[in-house]
Homo-oligomer: A and B are copies of this chain.
Amino acid sequence: MSGLVQTPDWIALDWGGSHLRAWAVVGGRPVAHVASDAGTGALDRDAFGPALTALVQDWLTEKRCIPAFACGMLGSRQGWVEAPYRTVPCAPLGGGLVAAPQTDPRLQVYVLPGLKQPRPADVMRGEETQIAGFLALNPGWDGVICLPGTHSKWVHVSAGEVVSFQTFLTGETFALLSGQSVLRHGMDGWDDAGFDDGLAQGLDRPDRLLSRLFTLRAEGLLDGLDPATARARLSGLLVGAELAAAKPYWLGQRVAVLGAGDLAALYARALDGLSVPVSAHTAEAATLAGLAAARAAHTKEATCAR
């Protein structure tokens, strides 16, 4: 991390449960990026300010207060400051920003609210910003956005609004089963054919998930199932079960997958195999575009001149 030639116009923050990412933005472009593992899950309320200052220290100046726009779990009840959910159907961004307590006179953080859906009950924090960014980068886009990850989201977008969405515990279940269950003994690496095999099984019979999980263990013991195949097949089983249950979202729709490179590519390939018109996009670009849209809409309110 080093000092910038120019003080940033504003700072973009993606502050999730297990990560903190920051970009210095000058003239509409990110000119520097820093990250740490100071996720909201690891911080007490009064540790947020110091953690942020420590990370972006070199970008700050005594001359003025720089605004920062932040999305993610820092706006949850257990986060830095609660930014109450907005209710769908609604545009992914549209007010409700909450100013965090100012702990450093050189910095003022504004937190974007998440979205909630009353029935079936569902929530998101952070993804709404990615969706807004994706729509800013692709004006007029209608369809379904899939955001794979710890808590995968499927989102129906129409006329610039989030109409409905559904969350799946896919990534977290994979992490727990591959890392902490009895399955961990025979899991290491990755094998594309194993993923495809699990995907087909999961799509075909998502109801058999709990028994197919133990089959992985038994094949390891009896047939010497390769650990890379086992791990990839577990992922395929879970993603297949997710895709089967998300069929009302993707059937007859075009789908944009927003995610980290490998995972987005995996989902895009799986959807392509189902003859779904699909495109894969980097989540980071969408996050930045969404935070920029929030900042553009709040240049007047969100100032912090000293």
Residues of A within 8 A of B (CB): 77, 85, 116-118, 120-123, 151, 166-170, 172-173, 176-177, 180-183, 206-211, 213-215, 217-219, 221-223, 238, 241-242, 244-246
Q: Cβ of A116 and Cβ of B222 under 8 Å apart? A: yes
Q: Cβ of B177 and Cβ of A173 under 8 Å apart? A: yes
Q: Cβ of A223 and Cβ of B176 under 8 Å apart? A: no
A117–B241 CA distance with the chains assembled, in angstroms: 25
Q: Cβ of B167 and Cβ of A121 under 8 Å apart? A: no
Q: Cβ of A222 and Cβ of B170 under 8 Å apart? A: no
User: Which residue of B is nearest A219, CB measured?
Assistant: B121
If A116-B222, A176-B181 touch, whether A169 touches B214 (CB-CB below 8 Å) is yes
A209–B215 CA distance with the chains assembled, in angstroms: 19
- Chain B residues contacting A122 (CB-CB under 8 Å) are 214-215, 218
10 closest cross-chain pairs (CB), A and B: A206-B207, A121-B218, A167-B214, A168-B210, A169-B213, A176-B176, A121-B219, A122-B218, A168-B211, A123-B218
Nearest CB of B to A84, in Å:
11
Q: Cβ of B180 and Cβ of A121 under 8 Å apart? A: no
Looking at chain A's contact residues, is the secondary structure mostly helix, strand, loop, or mixed?
helix
Q: How many copies of the shown chain assemble into the complex?
A: 2
Q: Cβ of A123 and Cβ of B210 under 8 Å apart? A: no
A154–B208 CA distance with the chains assembled, in angstroms: 14
Q: Which of B170, B176, B214 contacts A168 (CB 8 A)?
A: B214
A238–B207 CA distance with the chains assembled, in angstroms: 11
Q: Cβ of A120 and Cβ of B215 under 8 Å apart? A: yes
Q: Cβ of B244 and Cβ of A173 under 8 Å apart? A: no
Nearest CB of B to A75, in Å:
12
User: Which residue of B is nearest A176, CB measured?
Assistant: B176
Q: Which of B120, B211, B222, B245 contacts A210 (CB 8 A)?
A: B245
- Chain B residues contacting A123 (CB-CB under 8 Å) are 217-218, 221-222
15 CB-based A-B contacts, threshold 8 Å: A121-B215, A122-B218, A123-B221, A123-B222, A167-B211, A167-B214, A172-B181, A173-B173, A176-B180, A207-B245, A209-B241, A210-B238, A210-B241, A211-B242, A211-B245
User: Which residue of B is nearest A239, CB measured?
Assistant: B210
Q: Which of B166, B211, B221, B244 contacts A207 (CB 8 A)?
A: B244
Q: Cβ of B181 and Cβ of A222 under 8 Å apart? A: no
- Chain B residues contacting A167 (CB-CB under 8 Å) are 211, 214, 218
Nearest CB of B to A55, in Å:
25
Q: Cβ of B151 and Cβ of A222 under 8 Å apart? A: no
A246–B208 CA distance with the chains assembled, in angstroms: 9
If A121-B218, A222-B116 touch, whether A210 touches B242 (CB-CB below 8 Å) is yes
- Chain B residues contacting A120 (CB-CB under 8 Å) are 215, 218
Nearest CB of B to A34, in Å:
27
